[in-house]
Structures are given as structure tokens and as C-alpha cells.
Amino acid sequence: MRNIGLVVVLVLLGACASMQQPAAVERMYVINCGENHVKDVSLWTPGVNVEKPHVFGNHCYLVRHAQGWMLWDSGNADRIAALPNGLANPRGTITAFMRKPLVESLKEIGVAPADIRHFAMSHAHGDHSGNANLFSNATLYIQRAEYAAMFGPEPVKYGFLSTNYEKLKSGPTMMLDGDHDVFGDGSVLIKPAPGHTPGHQVLVVRLPKAGPVMLSGDMVHLVYSWENRVVPSFNFDVAQSGRTIDAMKEYTARTGAQLWINHDMEQHARIPKAPAFVQ
Ligand SMILES: [Zn+2]
């Protein structure tokens, strides 16, 4: 009986302690960071939707943590906002749009690029690294394999445009070889999710009300891809991409984390956008 009483007291003390602590992650802003119009979405969904055009959304995520601001992904380049017809890739299969520069969206929230002390990208493709140079004074959290591809001899081989992110090379960098707890309190976790690119990663944010949310990067592009374990044929490693999906399905099932899929416009239509925020 005495032991049970002690357990009850400890549980109550624990509950009080957690009630008194300020939430580590206070809120998160989901920012519209452009659109990518494609002529044939079957490149992303091999076997279905042949020659069907599609509009992919594109988002950046700004996390307000008690220890400071963190930005995840940096969207299409702000300079694209000056091009009313967007910017097409050389083969004309994708046209990128940026209706409102990221800098303007941040300003509406009351944040300047220099206020952001922590920066990470899911990977270095142009729709995620477009504005990376703005955040070269923040600490960059990156998997070693991605960094090697970005700053190695052949970034083009991985579909990277090095001018998008070249300033990051001289900035503070936290080189990762796996999982990383950004603030040391379990509230913001980087997890390696390779396959789309060599060092692709995802972010898990513990929101104070909504609970854990995994931000997909390009692990999958659509809810369809997640449900059917489908990845683009142009991924760096298709088999590894499938294993990553399996591992993240296990993780989300075990932790109850929701998966928010960066490019799925339909799914994101239900999520409030900046300057509103989610908790
Ligand atoms: Zn992408």
C-alpha cells in the first residue's frame, strides 16, 4: 500500500511539473512557398496518371520554440516572384511559381531572416533550397551524405543547383549522421529519411495541442504515394526510398504522429497558413 501511495504522489508531482513548464514548441507557421506545375504527374506516381498535369503545392515551416526560431525548408527562390509566367526547367516538364516571396511572408509574421537561428532543409533540390542563402548565419542541420552531394564535385548529378545554397558553406553547420534532437528537449527531431536524395531527412515537431507532426519533405509527394508506397522513378535510390517509407510508417504508428506532406496541396488546404499558425 505504501508503495502505491508513493507512486500516486510521484505521478501527481510529475503532472504539476509538466503543467508549470512553458511549452517548448509554442507554435508553427505553415508558409506558402510556391507552386510547381507539372505536365505529367506519372513521373511522381509511376504506373498511374500518365500524361496528367498536376499542381504541387510547396511549403516552408517556421517553428517558434522557447529557445528561438527554426525554419524547415526554404521553398522556391524569391526571385521567381518577379516572373509572372514562372520559371520552367530546361526540359519544360516543371514550371515553378512563387506568388509571394518568403521574405514577405516572414515579415508578415514579424520575423526577419536574421532572426532565424536554426535552419534545416529536407534536401537540397531547388524547391526546398531556393532561399537557403538567406539563412547562412543560422546553424544548418544537415545529414553528412546530403552535404557531400551538395558541395562535392557533381551537385548537378543529384539535381542540385549550387548557387541556391552556396553561402551555407561558410556558415555554422551541425553535421548529422542520423537522428538529432534540435533543442535537446525532444520537441523537434530530425530523422534521416534517405532515398529521394542521399541525405534526405524529415522533421518531427511536437505541437502543444495537435501533438507530433512529421514534415515529409519529399519522402513522399502525395497522400497517394504514402498509402501506396510509390516514389518517383528519378529518386536517387528507389529501393532505399521504399525502406524509408516503411521505417517512417512504423514510427508514425508507434508515436501517433501525423504526416504532413509538403507538396500535397489538397492535404495542406485543411491546414491554416501564415500569418495564422498551428499549435
Ligand atoms: Zn520537392
User: Distance from the CA of 279 to the center of ligand 1, in angstroms?
Assistant: 25
User: Distance from the CA of 210 to the center of ligand 1, in angstroms?
Assistant: 25
User: Distance from the CA of 256 to the center of ligand 1, in angstroms?
Assistant: 25
Query: Can you tell me the distance from the alpha carbon of 64 to that of 61, in angstroms, rounded to the nearest whole number?
Result: 10
Q: What is the mean pLDDT of each run of 10 residues along the chain (279 residues)?
A: 46 45 86 98 96 98 98 98 95 95 98 98 98 98 98 97 97 98 97 98 98 98 98 97 98 98 97 98
User: Distance from the CA of 122 to the center of ligand 1, in angstroms?
Assistant: 9
User: Distance from the CA of 254 to the center of ligand 1, in angstroms?
Assistant: 26
Q: What is the pLDDT of residue 90?
A: 86
User: Distance from the CA of 17 to the center of ligand 1, in angstroms?
Assistant: 41
> For residue 204, what is its C-alpha cell?
518531427
**Model pLDDT for residues 80-99, shown as the tens digit of each residue:** 999 999 999 988 999 999 99
DSSP β-bridge partners for residue 38: 54, 94
Query: Can you tell me the distance from the alpha carbon of 226 to that of 189, in angstroms, rounded to the nearest whole number?
Result: 20
User: Distance from the CA of 88 to the center of ligand 1, in angstroms?
Assistant: 15
Is residue 61 within 8 A of residue 262, CB to CB? The reply is no
User: Distance from the CA of 131 to the center of ligand 1, in angstroms?
Assistant: 14
User: Distance from the CA of 43 to the center of ligand 1, in angstroms?
Assistant: 13
User: Distance from the CA of 23 to the center of ligand 1, in angstroms?
Assistant: 30
Q: Which residues fall within 8 angstroms of residue 36, CB to CB, at 6 or more apart?
A: 55, 56, 58, 76, 94, 95, 96, 97, 127, 263
3-state secondary structure 241-262: HHHHHHHHHHHHHHHCCEEECC
